[in-house]
Structures are given as structure tokens and as C-alpha cells.
Amino acid sequence: NDGYDHERVEREYQTAWRDADVFEAPDDPDPASAAYVLAMFPYTSGELHMGHVRNYAITDAYARFRRLQGDDVLHPMGWDAFGLPAENAALAAREDDPDADVDPESYTRECIASMKAAFEDLGMGFDWSRELATCDPDYYRWNQWLFTEFRDAGLVDRRERAVNWCPDCETVLADEQVEEVGGGANATEVCWRCDTGIEERDLEQWFFRITEYADELLDDLDALDDWPASVRDQQRNWIGRTEGAAVDFAVSVPGGEDGDGDDADDEHAVTAFTTRLDTIHGATFFALAPDHPLAEAAAERDPAVREFVEEVADPEGDEPQGVATDMTATNPATGEEIPVYVADFVLSDVGTGALMAVPGHDERDHAFASEHDLPIRQVVAPAPDDDAEPADADDVDVQEAAFTDDGVLVNSGEYSGLESQAARDALVDDLPSAASTTQYRLRDWGVSRQRYWGTPIPIVHCPDCGPVSVPEDDLPVELPEFVASTGNPLDAADEWRETTCPDCGGPAERETDTMDTFVDSSWYYARFAGGEDAADAAPFDADAAAPWLPVDEYVGGSEHAVMHLLYARFVAKALRDLGHLDVDEPFEGLTTQGMVLGSDGAKMSKSGDNGVAPERIVREYGADTARAFALGAAEPERDFAWDPDGVERRRRLLDRVHALAEDVAASEGDAPAGVDAATADRDPSPTDEYVAREVDAAVESVTAAYDAMRFDRALRDVDALVSLLARYRDEAAADAGVLARGASVVVRVLAPVAPHVCEDAWSALQGTAVAGDSGEFVATAPWPVVERDVDDHDAASRFVERTREDVRDIVDTAGIDDPERIVVVVAPEWTYDALALARDAVGDDGGRP
Ligand code: ANZ
Ligand code: ZN
């Protein structure tokens, strides 16, 4: 490469920035201009891939842009450092070499060191003074504090949940430690270490009661309008709020069989959850989940039921399966006796684990009824069209297939003729055994993990007092030294495990489960913002954090759309209610960046040969080229493919910028001193005017592009401006002032994306008429201001040009052949404004521009 020397330039400015603390956030920022820009902190895998480069280039460019605009900026970085992979890596290293002194901690620290070096090589402007690692006892003690606060507030529960159990290792396995062997119907789950088939065991586990916040978590999504709609939808579905009714059916268990000592039939009121109370007259059987208490009791009485419950039930199976029982249920609407089945499509953790089955109007119930010859009855008919005949039951044949829409009731006694919704309302009022209720798909957050490399749950189990919280003064409960054992190493750490009860002083044992690492990442943003000073007294200093919070722009992968982002929202709301944090929502703006694909269009992987290690690009082309490529290829949300030509092109742009600045600096002797615009001693030519105006237009358009995080557009506009300035320099009698200002604009607006080369170019421009001595670093220089009105005609034509490009973009990606329709759908007002402006501009009175 015969362009600038990227190795020299990058090393020089990385050192200079560090020495000058350029990226350190101020301690008391102006709340009005405080910009908190945060990239999801990386898991400490030890390696950076192109996806990381893209993620962190996005936040770095945006943070640098806001800083140049004069805002106070917080752009911190830390390490999501707990987790099973480090534990596995340590075990693997010891298996290779029994004398190896590798434990999860030393392994993780090494990963952190190498990732930090890689960030430095990329020129990431992080405020390292606020660095944190979740495996620091100084950090995780606050996870323990949080657990205790939540427990005191009634937000923590302990209950049984099924876990994976290896009978050979005699230990609980994390989901990630369970491997699937064989395929399809023969697939079995085995232990990752010994290949023994795993079993399910019910164990006591700790839960955070996120369901307490289900409504608020759902309702507040509406106000997060700077979040991608897809993420909000995924959270809505995850929370899954359904309005419906709880309705009791009287289930009778044969006399003398239920063990209560008398011979009379016993009646049990069993509650079913339904969204379709309007169909109750068509409920022709009742069904229980295999682990419903009445199903388990029936299994005691009947071997066929027992066999089904223990061996056949498979909720994931395609065909609904089930078995008849000796019980009957009374339909409270019709008084009819209907059979009770145990069926695997009734899920025990949905609703009440019991179901009123309506084969005429529900597909699974229909399939089951057809299989078991149960009556299928139509009770809803399609609603009549506005001007058509009344509801006609003959329009559909429910014997063939279930009719699942709302409609008008038929065969439903006094309710016949009512519309579905009206019928639901009336039935809830009329039936004494029915009541409106709301169901959620969301379950409480199980935070217990049976593994070593995580935050110890701060509980002591006392035979007399039960589970007792470790007092705050005794926090942190630090991890003991790593024991390479099968199962959870903490179970084997006898000395650590055996302790005394904080309440009664008697012998007791520590909880050996550690916390889900999603706890670690649920509040780290607040600690970054809350300054280090508070670290020993509180998880963060709420006053210091206040001007920064909420995070203005949070950027990370879409794989975190639900769990991480939902847990962090929950924890923020709970901390707020406990008086520790003054926000309703932690992340105001959210960007989920797309993937970097290999040149074959498949997801880039380290192991596959379609991957390109960022270090190679940095070595061959420089960090700035890697950043410009990662940012210029597409808008942040979109996937893009690795493209060697694209990399070359970006490097050439940077070379042209560097050369332009050097030319201007070299010819500076000829330029009139102190001029800032096209005011040479000759009159400005139309070309001078045109170029000067284009420079201003570029400032406008690039500023708007950065504001919208459209770095791809910013780069496109910079590229065009650089070409224009080069032509102006080479082909016209360029005005030195116009050219110099152009160069200084290019260097400043490109600096957020390609910071090192722009520092070098900026340094060349120092002392010239235009750059003056306005700043040591371009990283802290003032953003260029627009000097002349870019008149309406230009604005309109550029607007139209950009509109046209947008449309082309949309059409290309969506493969749609009617662009006009698409734009109108996407942004009606905006489109009509554009049309009006454009018509004005071209003197058109109604034709299409
Ligand atoms: C009667 C009925 C008639 C239903 C009908 C649907 C259609 P969504 O709408 O997806 O939220 N259900 C209730 N508890 C269940 C359980 N434990 N396992 C499996 N299914 C269960 O689901 C609500 C519907 O799911 C409920 O409304 C119930 O079937 C079923 F024409 O009740 B429905
Ligand atoms: Zn005790």
C-alpha cells in the first residue's frame, strides 16, 4: 500500500488519546446535553470477531459524533465475565495437563487482557476509568445485595423446579451440559461428561418474581418508541398477556375411590382457563394435564392412565394424545355430564392445567375428538356480512374442521344470536362459576444455576431456621478456590460450604447454587453511570448516575431482544420501587445490529473458513479501514456480507482524505491568511460558489445521517464530497480558502468513523487558515457549522435525490415493484412534504417528480 502509514498513525494517536484522557466522561455532566452511549458489554470469550467490531464501531462513532457536537459523553466498557464456558475451558486445560494451574478466574483474566488490547488496536474511545468485570468481588457483591433486597421485598421465591440430573455423576447439569445424541424419535439427552442418559429431578430453586411486573413491562413498551418494533413485539409475545375467563367445572370422582373413607361420589371444582367462554355450550369433554393432581390420583386407580402419564405423554408431539378416566365433569352452562380425559396437549404450566375442550371451534380439541369419537358440536356461526342474511350454521361444517373465528352463537340456548364478544360478557356475568381473568405466558425468572463460575447466592441453610440471608456486612460471599470436580464444584468445597447460621449461630451450610449471569448484566449500566466512588457503599451512586440515565443509545445483538432486555427492564423497575434508582426504563434508545456474514452469505464463524479475523484487517489495512467498512456497508440493523473489494474501497477513501489534507497544508502558503470561505482576492467564480455550497450541504446531510446512526449514508456523502474536492483541486483554478475549508470539514465529519487517519490529517491542517489551532485533537474539535443558507432549491433537489435513493433501497430489499405505494405506506406526511417541495423546486404543478 502506497497510502498513509496506518501503523504509525494508529499507534501514535492511540497513545496520545490515552495520555490526554480524551474519552473520560465528566463527573458532573450537563443533564441537558449528557449522552450515554452504551454497547452491550462482551462475554469474555477472549476473541473479537467482525460482529464485535461492528457493534463497538457503531457506539464509538456515535459517541465521538456527540462529543464533537459539544455534548458530555459517557461511553464505558466492561466485561460480562461469569459463565460456563470459562469453567469448561479450565476443566479442559486440566484434563490435557493435570498440573496446569488454569482456573476459570485466570482463564477469564487472560481473555479480558487480550480483548482489551484488541479494543485499543481498533481505536475504541472507551472511558476505561469506569471499567468493570462482573467476576470482581467488588461487582458481584452487589448482585448479592440485590438478591437480598429483592428477597426482603418479597420479590424472591424458592420452589421446586425440574432440573437435569445425571445419575452417574450424581449431579445437576445446566441445560448447556446436556447433549443430545441420536436423531428424531430416537434422540436422547445425555450427560456431557459421561454420556449417561439424564433424568429429571425436582429441586428447590430460587426465582425472581418478574411476573409481579408483567403488566408494567408490557404496558411501558408502548412508550419505547426509539426501540425497534420487532423487539417490542417479541417482548409482548414473551409476556403473552391474554384476557379470558376462569370457569369451574364440577368434576366427580367415583365413590369410595378417592380415599376419603366414604362411598359417595366426590365433587371437585376444577378451574379451566379459556379465551372462548362463548363456546362453552360446545364443550363436549374436559381434559387435564398429565401432572394435574386429579390426573395423578386417577393414575393410582387405573393402570392405563398411569401408563399414559408416565410413558406416553409428549407435549411436543404432533398428534394430541390422551386417555379416558373414570371421572366426569358437569358443564356449568348446559348441565350436561361430559367425560374427563388426561391429555398431553394440556400444559401444566399454562393457565390452570385444565381445559374445557370445544372440538367444534378449536383445532387441537377437534383432532382429539375425531380420534376418540367424541361429539363435535357447532355453537358459533360465521357473522353475517353487513347486508347479507342472518347467521347461517350451514356456512361451515365443523365435523370437517373446527371453525375458530368469533361469530354469532347458535345452539346455545338463550345466548343464541349474540355475537361472540357480547356472549362472553353475558356468560361471565351469568355463570356463578365463571370470572374474568388474565393469563400471562411470562414465568418467574429462575436464577439458580448449579455451577461454579457465577455469583454465590447469599443464603445459608440452617436446619433450625431454614434459608437465612447472609447479612449485608458479611457480603461479598466470595467464591472459594476452584475445585475440578464432577457436578457443581461448590458442593465439593467443604470448607467453604460449612458455616454457621447468621441467626442462631448453629452449624449450617451455604447455598451452593450460583446466580444466572443475566443477573450480572441486569444493572451494570447503572454502575457505569454511578461513578466508582460509590462502589463500596452502594451498587452505584444514584445522584451521580441521574444525569446520565436512562441510556440514550444502547446497541447490541438482536439475540438479546427478550431475556437480557426484559430482565434489565424488570430490575430497573424493582430498584426504582425500592428507592434505589430514578428511572422507569433503563434504555431509551435501542439499536439491534445485524450480522456480518461471510462472503458466502452464511453467518461468519471462527471455525468455518468464511470468517475474517479483525486482526488481519487491522494489520493489512488499518483499524480505520476495518471501522469504515463495518459502518459503511449497511445501516446498523441490516446484515451484510464480507466484501474484500469493499474493504479496498474504504482504504482508498481514507488515502484520498489524507492526501487532500496534506495538499492543502502544503499549498497553505498561497492562501490568503485568515479567510474562512470563498473570499480570495479574485471574485468567487460560479464553481467556487458551487463547491462552497456543496461543502455546507454535506455538513447538513452528514450531521443528519449521524443523528440517525446512518453511518452508511454519512460515508456515502463524505465520499462524494471528497471526489468533488479532488476534481475541484485538479481541474479548476481552485480557491485555496474554499478547498481548505472543504478539507477541514471532511476531516472532522469523517473522524467519528475513521478517527486515527483524521487525527493525522487534522494535525497537518493545524496552523492553516481554516483549521486554525482550534484543537489538539480532532476527537475534541468543534463540529463544522453550516456557513451559508443552502437555498431551498438545492435542499429540495437533494431531498428528492435522497428520497429516490431511499425508495430504491426499500424496493431492492423488499423486492417490491410499486415504490410509490411503499413510500406512502411508510411515511405519509413525509412523502407529501417531499412531493410538494419537489414540485415547487421544478415548477411542476401536479406531475410526478
Ligand atoms: C375453550 C376454547 C374454545 C379455547 C375455543 C380456544 C378455542 P391462547 O388463546 O393461545 O392464549 N388452554 C387453556 N389452558 C390450557 C393448557 N393448560 N394447555 C393447553 N391449552 C390450554 O390459548 C387459550 C386457550 O388455550 C384456552 O381457550 C384453552 O382453550 C386453551 F373455540 O378454551 B380455549
Ligand atoms: Zn439457624
pLDDT in tens, 209-236: 999 999 999 999 999 999 999 999 999 9
351 lines ligand 1 (CB under 6 A): yes
pLDDT band at 349 (very low <50, low <70, confident <90, very high): confident
Rounded to an integer, what distance in angstroms lies between the CA atom of residue 680 and that of residue 664?
A: 15
pLDDT at 824: 44
Neighbouring-strand partners of residue 37:
553
353 lines ligand 1 (CB under 6 A): yes
**pLDDT tens figures, 422-473:** 999 999 999 999 999 999 989 899 899 888 999 999 999 999 999 999 999 9
Rounded to an integer, what distance in angstroms lies between the CA atom of residue 55 and that of residue 777?
A: 24
The closest ligand to the CA of 322 turns out to be 1
Fold of the 645-839 domain: Isoleucyl-tRNA Synthetase; Domain 1 (1.10.730)
Distance 309 CA to ligand 1 centre (A): 21
Task: For residue 21, give the 3-state DSSP assignment.
Answer: coil
pLDDT at 825: 40
Class of domain 244-437 as given by CATH? alpha beta
For ligand 1, atom 31, which residue shows the shortest CA distance?
361
How many other CB atoms sit within 10 Å of the CB of residue 432?
Answer: 7
The closest ligand to the CA of 440 turns out to be 1
Highest mean pLDDT (candidates 458-462, 559-563, 664-668, 768-772): 458-462
Q: Which of 448, 398, 422 shows the shortest CA–CA distance to 205?
A: 448
274 lines ligand 1 (CB under 6 A): yes
Find the DSSP H helices in 484-622: 489-492, 494-497, 517-520, 524-529, 542-545, 563-577, 614-621
Model pTM? 0.83
How many other CB atoms sit within 10 Å of the CB of residue 487?
Answer: 20
Rounded to an integer, what distance in angstroms lies between the CA atom of residue 342 and that of residue 288?
A: 5
Q: Is the pLDDT of residue 721 over 80?
A: yes
The closest ligand to the CA of 245 turns out to be 1
Q: Is the pLDDT of residue 122 over 50?
A: yes
pLDDT at 672: 39
Q: Which atom of ligand 1 is nearest to the CA of 353?
A: 17
350 lines ligand 1 (CB under 6 A): yes
All CATH 3.90.740.10 domain ranges of the chain, comma separated, are 244-437
Which of the listed residues 248, 273, 363 should we mutate to test ligand 1's pocket, taking the one with most ligand atoms within 8 A of CB?
273
Residues 755 and 122: beta-carbon distance below 8 Å: no
281 lines ligand 1 (CB under 6 A): no
287 lines ligand 1 (CB under 6 A): no
**HSE of 565 in the Cβ direction (CA atoms, 13 Å)?**
31
How many other CB atoms sit within 10 Å of the CB of residue 159?
Answer: 12
For ligand 1, atom 11, which residue shows the shortest CA distance?
242
Rounded to an integer, what distance in angstroms lies between the CA atom of residue 5 and that of residue 326?
A: 85
Q: Which of 473, 638, 660, 439 shows the shortest CA–CA distance to 558?
A: 638
Residues 671 and 736: beta-carbon distance below 8 Å: yes
Taking CA atoms, 225 is separated from 114, 233, 240, 245, 588, in Å, by: 37, 12, 20, 32, 8
Q: Is the pLDDT of residue 848 over 90?
A: no
355 lines ligand 1 (CB under 6 A): yes
Q: Which atom of ligand 1 is nearest to the CA of 361?
A: 31
Q: Which of 360, 357, 371 shows the shortest CA–CA distance to 401?
A: 360
The closest ligand to the CA of 504 turns out to be 2
Distance 514 CA to ligand 2 centre (A): 21
Residue partners of 288: CB distance under 8 A and separation at least 6: 270, 294, 295, 325, 340, 341, 342, 343, 346, 353, 354, 355
Q: Which atom of ligand 1 is nearest to the CA of 240?
A: 11
Per-chain mean pLDDT for the chain: 87
Rounded to an integer, what distance in angstroms lies between the CA atom of residue 232 and that of residue 218?
A: 9
pLDDT at 608: 47
Rounded to an integer, what distance in angstroms lies between the CA atom of residue 320 and that of residue 367?
A: 7
Q: Is the pLDDT of residue 29 over 50?
A: yes
pLDDT band at 166 (very low <50, low <70, confident <90, very high): confident
Distance 469 CA to ligand 2 centre (A): 11
279 lines ligand 1 (CB under 6 A): yes
Phi, psi of 225 (to 5 degrees): -80, 0
Percent over 90 (pLDDT), the chain: 64
- On the question of a cis peptide bond just before residue 476, with omega within 30 degrees of 0, the verdict is yes
- On the question of a cis peptide bond just before residue 550, with omega within 30 degrees of 0, the verdict is yes
Residue partners of 133: CB distance under 8 A and separation at least 6: 44, 78, 79, 81, 108, 112, 139
Task: For residue 496, give the 3-state DSSP assignment.
Answer: helix
Q: Which atom of ligand 1 is nearest to the CA of 358?
A: 3
Distance 480 CA to ligand 2 centre (A): 22
**pLDDT tens figures, 379-394:** 999 988 755 566 565 6
pLDDT at 671: 46
Distance 354 CA to ligand 1 centre (A): 9
pLDDT at 171: 72
Q: What is the CA radius of gyration of the chain?
A: 33
CA quadruple 189, 194, 198, 203: dihedral sign: negative
Find the DSSP H helices in 622-735: 623-632, 644-666, 686-707, 711-731
Task: For residue 268, give the 3-state DSSP assignment.
Answer: strand
Q: Is the pLDDT of residue 243 over 90?
A: yes
Q: Which of 512, 515, 451 shows the shortest CA–CA distance to 486?
A: 451
The closest ligand to the CA of 364 turns out to be 1
Q: Which atom of ligand 1 is nearest to the CA of 380?
A: 31
The closest ligand to the CA of 464 turns out to be 2
Q: Apex CA 81: angle with CA 80 and CA 83, to 5°?
A: 105
Rounded to an integer, what distance in angstroms lies between the CA atom of residue 374 and that of residue 368?
A: 8
246 lines ligand 1 (CB under 6 A): no
Phi, psi of 505 (to 5 degrees): 80, 0
Residue partners of 526: CB distance under 8 A and separation at least 6: 539, 540, 545, 549, 572, 575, 581, 586
Q: Is the pLDDT of residue 290 over 70?
A: yes
Residue 196 or 79, more confident = 79
Distance 247 CA to ligand 2 centre (A): 44
Rounded to an integer, what distance in angstroms lies between the CA atom of residue 807 and that of residue 819?
A: 6
pLDDT at 827: 42
Interface pTM (ipTM) of the complex? 0.88
| Cell 476459570, located at residue | 104
Residues 699 and 672: beta-carbon distance below 8 Å: no
Helix (H) / strand (E) containing 305:
helix 303-307
The closest ligand to the CA of 503 turns out to be 2
pLDDT at 392: 62
361 lines ligand 1 (CB under 6 A): yes
Rounded to an integer, what distance in angstroms lies between the CA atom of residue 289 and that of residue 52?
A: 45
Distance 221 CA to ligand 1 centre (A): 26
| Cell 350436561, located at residue | 336
All CATH 1.10.730.10 domain ranges of the chain, comma separated, are 645-839
273 lines ligand 1 (CB under 6 A): yes
For ligand 1, atom 2, which residue shows the shortest CA distance?
276
Which of the listed residues 276, 291, 346, 368 should we mutate to test ligand 1's pocket, taking the one with most ligand atoms within 8 A of CB?
276
Percent over 70 (pLDDT), the chain: 85
Q: Which of 767, 768, 750, 772 shows the shortest CA–CA distance to 759?
A: 750
pLDDT band at 679 (very low <50, low <70, confident <90, very high): very low
Q: Is the pLDDT of residue 482 over 70?
A: yes
Distance 497 CA to ligand 2 centre (A): 15
Q: Is the pLDDT of residue 843 over 70?
A: no
Which of the listed residues 344, 355, 437 should we mutate to test ligand 1's pocket, taking the one with most ligand atoms within 8 A of CB?
355
Determine what percent of the chain falls in helix, strand and coil, rounding each to the nearest 5.
45, 15, 40
For ligand 1, atom 22, which residue shows the shortest CA distance?
275
Distance 402 CA to ligand 1 centre (A): 14
Which of the listed residues 243, 274, 278, 294 should we mutate to test ligand 1's pocket, taking the one with most ligand atoms within 8 A of CB?
274
Q: Is the pLDDT of residue 375 over 50?
A: yes
For ligand 1, atom 7, which residue shows the shortest CA distance?
362
Fold of the 22-145+518-614 domain: Rossmann fold (3.40.50)
142 lines ligand 1 (CB under 6 A): no
Q: Which of 307, 309, 305, 337 shows the shortest CA–CA distance to 324?
A: 305
All CATH 3.40.50.620 domain ranges of the chain, comma separated, are 22-145+518-614
242 lines ligand 1 (CB under 6 A): yes
Find the DSSP H helices in 24-173: 50-68, 84-96, 104-121, 137-152
Rounded to an integer, what distance in angstroms lies between the CA atom of residue 742 and that of residue 784?
A: 10
Residues 263 and 256: beta-carbon distance below 8 Å: yes
